[in-house]
Amino acid sequence: MFAVDYVKAVYGAIRDLTFETWMGLNEIRKAVVQDMCFELGETGLAEFHHFLTAVEVGDFATARAEMLESRWAKQVSTRADTNSDMMLSGVWSSKVLGASVS
């Protein structure tokens, strides 16, 4: 079931951005968009219009701000902080790296 959900999240993330934008994102920013799509569902990410527009133009500071100002951020708190930091910086968070090592 996880594999199906994961594929849906990847497809949803790619669908909500232009192909050129998706291909231009580094693996960390792709992972953030995929994680958001996984959490929000296939159609949920599409509701983040300002976030998606910011990602499209490479304005990762605005993308981060849009993430943090959302209802989603209030619901997932720490995860939103971690993902938004990774969206801004384009590097893996030590929180994520630590979780994957253990």
State both tokens at 92: 């893996």
State both tokens at 18: 């232009």
Q: Distance (Å, rounded) from C-alpha 12 to C-alpha 22?
A: 11
pLDDT score, position 23: 93
Examine residue 87 and state whether it is found in any structural domain, yes or no: yes
Examine residue 24 and state whether it is found in any structural domain, yes or no: yes
Task: Print the domain residue range for 76.
Answer: 2-93
Total domains, the chain: 1
Q: Distance (Å, rounded) from C-alpha 41 to C-alpha 5?
A: 9
pLDDT score, position 102: 40
Examine residue 49 and state whether it is found in any structural domain, yes or no: yes
State both tokens at 45: 């990410």
pLDDT band at 12 (very low <50, low <70, confident <90, very high): low
pLDDT band at 19 (very low <50, low <70, confident <90, very high): confident
The values of phi and psi at residue 57, to 5°, are: -95, 5
Examine residue 98 and state whether it is found in any structural domain, yes or no: no
Would the pLDDT of 2 be above 50?
yes
Q: What is the DSSP letter of 25?
A: S
When the pLDDT of each residue in the chain is averaged and rounded to a whole number, the result is 88
Examine residue 101 and state whether it is found in any structural domain, yes or no: no
CATH number at residue 35: 1.10.530.40
Q: Distance (Å, rounded) from C-alpha 76 to C-alpha 74?
A: 6
Examine residue 99 and state whether it is found in any structural domain, yes or no: no
